[in-house]
Structure 1
Amino acid sequence: MSTEPALMSLTAVANAIAQKRFSSREATQSCLERIAQWQPRLNAFMAIEADAALAAADAADALFAKGNLSGALHGVPMAHKDMYYDAGKVVTCGSKIRRDFVATTTSTALQRLKDAGTVRLGSLQMVEFAYGPTGHNSHYGPVHNPWGLDHITGGSSSGSGAAVAARLTFAALGSDTGGSIRMPAHFCGVTGLKTTVGRISRAGAMPLSQSLDTVGPLARSVEDCALLLGLMAGADPDDPTAVAGPLPDYAAAARESIKGLTIGVPTAFYVDDLDPEVAAILDETIAVLKREGANTVQVELPDQRQLTAACQLVLAVEAAAFHKRWLIERPQDYGPQVLMRLQNGLAIPGVSYLEAMRWRGPALAAHLAAVAGVDAVIAPVAPVAAPTIAESDVGNSPDAEAVIQRLTRFTRPVNYLGLPSLSIPTGFTRGGLPVGMQLVGRSFDEAMLLRIGAAFQRATDFHDRVPKPA
């Protein structure tokens, strides 16, 4: 394990600070040094608050010197996607429209991490209004992949994926409405957890699609995601959709063996039209899980293309509804790609939207029936590793839209069904780009996904690999 604080995992650095092996200031300074080195290459940060971060770290150290720990993440520096409201801070949501928007409240998820003792490093870049899967942003420029600077990070949590991969922050909040946590995790070689709708409060997080939005972390390991989920999950009076009730011990689940578990491998769709290297990594991932004691069986899922189409329809309408006033008053302030998508949403008939919403229950029931005999399903996050920024740039590449549609095929069905999914790094292409697989579970059974993912990471080191500056 590295002795450089910034290269440690979230769990390890929290333990090191609590055991006084180094201070919050040392951990924060280590991250800031890497940010200074990487930010000009990556464009991962929207705002860097170095002086404020060091002052907060000093305050955390002073509090600890008096014998007080504020929580499980006391003094740990972090940065998050710039769509989580933080009272008194500018929250741009990656947009021109909210370039000067100052939040008056703090999002519940962010507040729970603050209550655990975290130190704010700044805010992270994102796709405009979280409405895009690649990491392009016409206002602030694209975020670059630390494993290959000409390649995309995935979106919309683009800065989160790049910053966690380059070890600029120990973890970061993302959001997943159509794949926006899992795709950056896959393309950047980090771990990302798309939670069940209702598992973590969405209060104070910029809305995109009211029935699809989910809050979740991107981190270096499954163990880190388990820690973060345990801190953020649960009921919230400010979000009536956040589910009440006892929570599993996610950290304990991540330590359990997977011997005797059964993992489903889809017979179609998720194994169709895969890049040969991705297909080989899927096979190798399954082999590792078998060696760790899991069984695998083939599962025949309902038509996933219908789920993808339904997800796109619901997302388009709900996003357009949220943006209607700005679309009327400030259309010129949107980037062309986001404007086109929002305007398309306005053209979808209400009957079509209601049909798509009404079908969700039967579709979920059919899915659960198909996976009744398995503990989780494994599938690629995307059929390819990260394409280049140029070839996925709508407006400048004639094939960009086809590239984007291919990238999002495997993530949207999970969003439509509201299920949890964990993306883990599972290998690299010959060109050095990361590849991730997703584990899909039952509603509110994130613990099972963490259990399986952590077992894989105990047997491999893909999540520990660090990109080197070009």
Structure 2
Amino acid sequence: MHSIAETAGLIAARKISPVELAKTALARAEALNDKIHAFIRITPEPALAAAQAAEARAASGSLRGPLDGIPIAHKDIYCTAGIPTTAHSAQLKDFIPTEDATTVRMLAAAGVVSLGKLATHEFAFGGPSFDLPWPPARNPWDTTRFTAGSSSGTGAAVAAGIIMGGTGSDTGGSIRGPAALCGIAGIKPTYGLCPRTGILPLAQTLDHAGPMAWSVEDVALLLQAMAGHDPADPGSANRPVPDFHAGLAQGVRGKRIGVIRHFHESDNPVSPATLAGIENTIAVLRAEGAVISDITLPSLAEYNATGWAIIYAESFAVHEAWMQSAPEKYGEYMRHRLALGALMSAADYIQAQRRRADLITRSIAATQGVDLLITASAMGEAPPITAVSKWASLEKPGFTMPFNVLGWPALSLCSGFGEAGLPVSVQIIGKPFDDASVLAAGHAFEKATAFRATRPAI
């Protein structure tokens, strides 16, 4: 399967037909969905209409850019006008929005061909659940394994080669977790870079929208179309958007990269394969000209305790009315997690936000001498999907939450494979609104390694 960047060139040269590309992708979606359950809904008619429009633009030499005619799909918390948006929940089983989410509209304006709506953990929080109207997504590398969440369908569909990219959301790691376990690339952009209007909220002070794709280069192309100011989103940043694809060429020469060793060596020790992948990433980036040093931040436990307290409180605020009127329409995982949020007091929430401000101040001070950071994005290879506990996120501190608390850009990408042949990953983090440097570092690593040549055999 070609990358987005390669396919764009072939479409422009009239060597690939967007209509035939869409038909092939739709056929693959239909053929594989009973195995990986990546899609809640496949939408052939609007997909083919969009592909025909892209083909007409190709014929007339008026393509809108590198995403024109590219097959993607949307996580089913992104509102899509006239197409059900369910959040993978019985609560919204029959909800049909009248307007697109801002990012759905921005991507459509870039010419993408949306194949449908992708599985998620219920309301981006409750999963992997087996008591919902649709089954949970499965990992294409091994369908008995977990995808991570909550952007589970996007991770599965990209890894399986059904779509070239897709949308995700990330409140505590919901883009980077599936990217890690499914062996793809995904960025949680700087807070406020991508509008969230029309995306069903979980915890508004931590929610981020962002793209997922097979490679970092493709993530950069998607992020270009998703980034921008939206006055309807109170968290949206009003600042110029750089050229992320052009920025990939900057590489890492001269960049100062801090390795947060204590995160993945002592705060929550990772698997040997994950550690080897991190060390290889460091070696590759050093060979590319980066200056590497170790750095110490507050503990993973501090960031995670703070972030999860905020998520539980803010998510209950979003769902309180339904928890009172129709709790039975939630799956067990979602219902019980929301019930924990109901026990949070106003004092708990305010103290968590105070601790968050303190963590931001301490993190800024600790990273004064570096441009980028490196740590793990997941402990190891994907576990069996039936072995994931309801309270897994509270049992051990995760590697992704710190950068939701901080709002800094963070990228997960494949750094190799473990003993079971499943992907392992690394996380590259940057300073606020330096998403371009994060992507450039990830791209430099991918160009210097061969991991993008291996796809799951499904």
TM-score by length of 2: 0.96
What one-letter code is carried by the residue in structure 2 that aligns with 1:320?
A: F
Does structure 1 residue 320 correspond to structure 2 residue 309?
Answer: no
Aligned runs of 1:192-341 on 2, under 5 Å?
A: 192-272=186-266, 273-341=269-337
What one-letter code is carried by the residue in structure 2 that aligns with 1:313?
A: A
Deviations along 1:315-356, whole A, 9 cap, x unmatched?
Answer: 000000000110000001110111011011011110110121
Partner of 2:125: 131
Distance in 2 (alpha carbons) for counterparts of 1:405 and 1:465: 33
Distance in 1 (alpha carbons) for counterparts of 2:346 and 2:181: 35
Give 3-state SS (helix, strand or coil) of 1:128's partner.
coil
Give 3-state SS (helix, strand or coil) of 1:130's partner.
coil
Partner of 2:406: 417
Q: Alpha-carbon deviation of 1:360? A: 2.3
Deviations along 1:92-121, whole A, 9 cap, x unmatched?
Answer: 011110010000111111110000011121
Larger mean Cα displacement after TM superposition, 257-266 or 148-157: 257-266
Unaligned runs of 5+ in 2: none
Give 3-state SS (helix, strand or coil) of 2:90's partner.
coil
Distance in 1 (alpha carbons) for counterparts of 2:395 and 2:256: 29
Distance in 2 (alpha carbons) for counterparts of 1:33 and 1:12: 21
- Could you list the runs of 4 or more consecutive aligned residues of structure 1 that deviate by over 3 angstroms after TM superposition? 134-137, 403-408
Whether the 8 Å contact between 2:14 and 2:59 is mirrored in structure 1 is no
What one-letter code is carried by the residue in structure 1 that aligns with 2:281?
A: T
Does structure 1 residue 376 correspond to structure 2 residue 372?
Answer: yes
Percent identity of paired positions between Structure 1 and Structure 2:
40
Distance in 1 (alpha carbons) for counterparts of 2:128 and 2:423: 16
Partner of 1:64: 58
- The verdict on how the C-alpha distance between 1:257 and 1:196 changes in structure 2, with shifts beyond 3 A counting, is closer
Whether the 8 Å contact between 1:201 and 1:233 is mirrored in structure 2 is yes
Q: Alpha-carbon deviation of 1:408? A: 5.5
Distance in 2 (alpha carbons) for counterparts of 1:280 and 1:14: 35
Give 3-state SS (helix, strand or coil) of 1:89's partner.
coil
Candidates 68, 75, 79, aligned match of 1:81: 75
Whether the 8 Å contact between 1:182 and 1:192 is mirrored in structure 2 is yes
What one-letter code is carried by the residue in structure 2 that aligns with 1:333?
A: K
Partner of 2:359: 363
Does structure 1 residue 463 correspond to structure 2 residue 452?
Answer: yes
Distance in 1 (alpha carbons) for counterparts of 2:456 and 2:444: 23
Candidates 423, 427, 449, aligned match of 1:438: 427
Whether the 8 Å contact between 1:89 and 1:102 is mirrored in structure 2 is yes
What one-letter code is carried by the residue in structure 1 that aligns with 2:345?
A: P
Aligned residue-pair number: 455
What one-letter code is carried by the residue in structure 1 that aligns with 2:354?
A: R
What one-letter code is carried by the residue in structure 2 that aligns with 1:332?
A: E
Partner of 1:4: none
Distance in 1 (alpha carbons) for counterparts of 2:184 and 2:394: 22
Give 3-state SS (helix, strand or coil) of 1:274's partner.
coil
Distance in 2 (alpha carbons) for counterparts of 1:259 and 1:59: 42
Aligned runs of 1:27-176 on 2, under 5 Å?
A: 27-132=21-126, 135-139=128-132, 140-176=134-170
Does structure 1 residue 344 correspond to structure 2 residue 333?
Answer: no
- The verdict on how the C-alpha distance between 1:252 and 1:467 changes in structure 2, with shifts beyond 3 A counting, is same
Whether the 8 Å contact between 2:195 and 2:229 is mirrored in structure 1 is yes
User: What is the root-mean-square deviation of aligned Cα atoms in Å?
Assistant: 1.5
Distance in 2 (alpha carbons) for counterparts of 1:95 and 1:302: 36
Distance in 1 (alpha carbons) for counterparts of 2:270 and 2:436: 29
Distance in 2 (alpha carbons) for counterparts of 1:146 and 1:392: 17
Distance in 2 (alpha carbons) for counterparts of 1:177 and 1:271: 24
- The verdict on how the C-alpha distance between 1:210 and 1:164 changes in structure 2, with shifts beyond 3 A counting, is same
Deviations along 1:236-274, whole A, 9 cap, x unmatched?
Answer: 122132111222221121122212212111241322222
Deviations along 1:368-421, whole A, 9 cap, x unmatched?
Answer: 111111111101111121100111154xxxxxx4x5445761111111111110
What one-letter code is carried by the residue in structure 1 that aligns with 2:275?
A: A
- The verdict on how the C-alpha distance between 1:52 and 1:104 changes in structure 2, with shifts beyond 3 A counting, is closer
Q: Alpha-carbon deviation of 1:19? A: 1.9
What one-letter code is carried by the residue in structure 2 that aligns with 1:350?
A: A
Partner of 1:18: 12
Q: Alpha-carbon deviation of 1:301? A: 0.9
Larger mean Cα displacement after TM superposition, 210-219 or 134-143: 134-143
Distance in 1 (alpha carbons) for counterparts of 2:389 and 2:34: 21
Distance in 1 (alpha carbons) for counterparts of 2:225 and 2:49: 24
Distance in 2 (alpha carbons) for counterparts of 1:407 and 1:48: 36
Larger mean Cα displacement after TM superposition, 114-123 or 356-365: 356-365
Q: Alpha-carbon deviation of 1:70? A: 3.7
Distance in 1 (alpha carbons) for counterparts of 2:440 and 2:305: 31
Unaligned runs of 5+ in 1: 1-6, 395-400
Distance in 2 (alpha carbons) for counterparts of 1:268 and 1:368: 17
- The verdict on how the C-alpha distance between 1:359 and 1:242 changes in structure 2, with shifts beyond 3 A counting, is same
